[in-house]
């Protein structure tokens, strides 16, 4: 059995990967995690720092790990960035995942050629809503339903604060396990996807799929194959 721990994107929850979990073949257990303040954890206070989010995911995986099973980590967007920190923690504990699969994220410390844009979590109400429209992945029905949007907005704003926290330039984020990255062709920084190679001392591979930031919904079977194939390095080495 291979346990696949899935870390959601900004604004996501434990249901965000139902489409993917159902595709996993026999022998793979998809386990969808979630941060506080949404889904099954709606009654808990939202987190607003990377360290707190990473610690929360570490606690969840530690509690859900089956010692008799191998495991891997998959994360999209925010989940990809947090996944790297989580994978490194477990590697340092001599319990590394079999692989780390990251999507919708070009990796840490990307150098932007354009002037730095205002942090998204600090944008005004209407500006923030327009940013979500441009990013995609949020239904127009939710965007135009004020009660629903006002419920959802603080969650994704808190997640953006986690995403946009400055990196510690002295922090070592490299891992030695297989790392596979994928992005959509229309995503900003898709041309820098191989930046992930700077953080992978072991096997590395990258893929570009057609689509925007949420290409994962249009390429679910291919994403499933990427996850399943990455776990085979455990058997065959890299």
Domain of 43, CATH number, reads 3.40.50.1820
| Domains: count for the chain | 1
* Sign of the alpha-carbon dihedral angle for 86, 88, 93, 96: positive
pLDDT tens by residue, 31-88:
999 999 999 999 999 999 999 999 999 999 999 999 889 999 999 999 999 999 999 9
Instruction: Specify whether the CB–CB gap between 165 and 49 falls below 8 A.
Output: yes
Inside any domain, residue 185: yes
Task: Tell me the percentage of the chain whose pLDDT exceeds 90.
Answer: 74
Q: Give every CB contact of residue 41 below 8 A, 6+ residues apart in sequence.
A: 34, 35
DSSP 27-50: TEEEEE---TTSGGGTTSPPP-SH
Map residue 103 onto helix, strand or coil: strand
pLDDT tens by residue, 23-40:
999 999 999 999 999 999
Inside any domain, residue 21: yes
Domain that holds residue 65: 2-111+169-236
Inside any domain, residue 69: yes
pLDDT tens by residue, 88-108:
999 999 999 999 999 999 999
pLDDT above 70: residue 234: no
Using a cut of 0.75, tell me whether the model's pTM lies above it: yes
Strands (E), the chain: 2-7, 28-32, 70-76, 100-103, 179-184, 204-209
pLDDT above 90: residue 232: no
């Amino acid at each position: 059995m291979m346990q696949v721990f899935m870390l959601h994107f900004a604004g996501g929850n434990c249901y965000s990967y139902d489409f993917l979990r159902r595709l996993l073949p026999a022998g793979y257990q998809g386990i969808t995690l979630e941060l506080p303040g949404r889904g099954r954890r709606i009654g808990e206070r939202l987190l607003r720092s990377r360290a707190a989010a990473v610690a929360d995911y570490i606690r969840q995986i530690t509690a859900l790990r089956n010692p008799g099973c191998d495991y891997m980590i998959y994360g999209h967007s925010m989940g990809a960035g947090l996944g790297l920190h989580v994978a490194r923690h477990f590697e340092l504990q001599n319990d590394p995942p079999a692989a780390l699969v990251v999507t919708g994220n070009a990796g840490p410390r990307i150098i932007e050629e354009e002037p730095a844009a205002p942090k998204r979590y600090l944008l005004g109400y209407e500006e923030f809503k327009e940013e979500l429209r441009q990013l995609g992945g949020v239904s127009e029905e939710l965007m135009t339903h004020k009660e629903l949007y006002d419920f959802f907005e603080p969650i994704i704003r808190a997640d953006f604060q986690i995403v946009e926290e400055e990196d510690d330039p002295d922090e070592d984020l490299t891992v030695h396990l297989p790392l596979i990255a994928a992005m959509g062709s229309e995503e900003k920084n898709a041309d820098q996807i191989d930046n992930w190679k700077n953080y992978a001392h072991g096997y590395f591979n990258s893929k570009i799929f057609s689509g925007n930031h949420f290409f994962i919904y249009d390429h679910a079977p291919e994403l499933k194959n990427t996850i399943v194939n990455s776990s085979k390095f455990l058997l065959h080495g890299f």
